Amino acid sequence: MANPFVKLWNYLKALGNAKIDEHADPKIQIQQAIEEAQRQHQALSQQAASVIGNQRQLEMKLNRQLEEVERLQANTRQALTLADQATAAGDTQKATEYTNAAEAFAAQLVTAEQSVEDLKTLHDQSLQAAEQAKKAVERNAMILQQKLAERSKLLSQLEQAKMQEQVSASLNQMSELAVPGNTPSLDQVREKIERRYANALGSAELAKNSVQGRMAEVEQASVQMAGHSRLEQIRASMRGELPSSAGAATPPLQKGEPATQTPPATEPPAQN
């Protein structure tokens, strides 16, 4: 059974990582991913260099061992030649010495040739490993280049996303037309105006239906009728349908005259 404290710790770590990823800057995360890929490529390149270096070192050892084999072969032949010459000269002791030397060179030659075979095997293996390492580095380099290109693409998309967010925020602000602070919005002003207009309409309707309103309507109708009658009189005067005295305007008052002139007094008729 798993330790509950370990499970809790793992849960908290996962939760913390999720929160960090949620609030992290994508630009920084992209850069971190690229830096990690570059570190991996550098480590792989160093490993490949070590493999290739080992192959080069085995190649140098093999060349030296081949030279040693050639030297031992030459020494063995030389010792045998000298032994044959000593035998032909009847010098048995020298012949024996040269023969022993030839045998010693031959023994060293066998060991050297076996070492050459071993080195050839190792060298062939190192060649394959070096070739695989080169291909691995080349593949990883291509992957790194793809990630770098992807980084540029992601950064461009990130900038586009930021600009789109700004445009969306501006459009939302324009659609709402909400001014931050204590300034009312247009919706609030519109509601206030509509409320005042509705109240004014209600007050006018109440005044119209009241007694004073009816009286005002009657007075207004009387004024309109009088004005209409006067207008018809003026039109008739202009057409000559009425005597000039009927349509003539009242002469202006002289200074000191009363506004209403008293007609002249007439004598009463004589009584019979």
83 close to 168: Cβ distance less than 8 angstroms: no
pLDDT for 204-218, tens place per residue?
A: 777 666 666 667 777
The CATH-assigned architecture of domain 21-176 is Orthogonal Bundle (1.10)
pLDDT of residue 118: 94
Boundaries of every domain in the chain:
21-176, 186-239
The segment with the largest mean pLDDT, out of 5-19, 20-34, 184-198, is 184-198
pLDDT for 53-82, tens place per residue?
A: 999 999 999 999 999 999 999 999 999 999
**Between residues 26 and 177, the one the model is more confident about:** 26
pTM of the complete model: 0.50
pLDDT of residue 200: 82
Q: What is the 3-state secondary structure (H, E, C) of 95-126?
A: HHHHHHHHHHHHHHHHHHHHHHHHHHHHHHHH
Token pair, residue 216, equals 């005002």
Average pLDDT, rounded, for the chain: 79
Token pair, residue 24, equals 């992290």
pLDDT band with cut points at 50, 70 and 90 for residue 126? very high
48 close to 88: Cβ distance less than 8 angstroms: no
